[in-house]
Amino acid sequence: MAKIIGGITTSHVPAIGSAIARKVQHEPYWKPFFDGFIPVRQWLAEVKPTTVVVVYNDHGLNFFLDSMPTFAVGCAPEYRNADEGWGIPQVPPFPGQLDLSWHLVESLVDEEFDPVTCQEMLVDHAFTLPMALLWPQQDWPVKVVPVCINTVQAPLPSARRCWKLGEAIGRAVQSWQADERVLVLGTGGLSHQLDGRRAGFINKEFDLKFMRSMSEDPTWATRFSTEDLVEHAGTQGIELLMWLTTRAALRGEVRKLHENYHIPISNTAAGLMLFENR
């Protein structure tokens, strides 16, 4: 039987990729952010996951406004990225875990979710940057399953619906007949808004309360409507939905091992959490 060994949640703004490309990780502006990943990489070296379910949102590279699924699952043998216009170097392709992809799709449909299945799929910075932060050498010692959630175009899935999706992902992995160690990686957020009258908005108080709830009261944010979450975290801060989905996928005894919070990162509050799933 497959086992979920833990979950990691982290931010994914394009400026991170630019910092990696320019090799400025140790400059004062960036060092508190990049140093936060040192304990996470140490943990990964110890537990050695074999598969990563990446819960993320697409920003127009694979899906655009004329075709935006609420939930999509990658079912491809590999996943590549492409030029998004940010000047971020492309990374090596990610090998897909096809067996888990199709098992996940079938399990989600059985639980009355209706994901779009993608046998060809480009992945953008929301996927590539967190993976590069976890494995800076970019030699990808794991296979991946992309799970994409719409946080771009209304109507968005509710926090409660995303929590249920995460629970269903956890059950699917647990029922997968494979001797695999699975990591769930949720990317996005935290509070930020890139446009409109509140451009540059960051809500540190809400971010820290949300991060605390992830270990003390995980379903806390599901009490808020989408509009409430946007008010508290900003238009793009709704990406915390990927954090909720990831946390919900962790089953059994869950222990927080590490966290980091740093602002500003390109007008974004950058968070990081590591959970061990026993």
Question: In 3-state terms, what secondary structure has residue 251?
Answer: coil
Instruction: Report d(CA 183, CA 179) in Å as an integer.
Output: 13
CB-CB neighbours of 6 under 10 Å:
25
192 catalytic per annotation: yes
With tokens 């079938």, the residue in question is 106
With tokens 């990591």, the residue in question is 183
Query: What letter represents residue 180's amino acid?
Result: E
125 catalytic per annotation: yes
- Please tell me which residue in 192, 232, 258, 262 is annotated as part of the active site: 192
- Please tell me which residue in 12, 59, 103, 125 is annotated as part of the active site: 125
Instruction: Report d(CA 6, CA 42) in Å as an integer.
Output: 14
**Where does residue 44 fall: left (phi above 0), alpha (psi -120 to 50 degrees), or beta otherwise?**
alpha
Name the phi and psi angles at 152, rounded to 5: -105, -50
Which residue in 272, 191, 204 sits closest to 236, CA to CA?
191
Q: By the 8 A CB rule, do 96 and 54 touch?
A: no
Q: By the 8 A CB rule, do 4 and 251 touch?
A: yes
Lookup: tokens for 115:
């994901």
Question: In 3-state terms, what secondary structure has residue 200?
Answer: coil
Instruction: Report d(CA 116, CA 73) in Å as an integer.
Output: 6
Q: Which residues are catalytic?
A: 125, 192
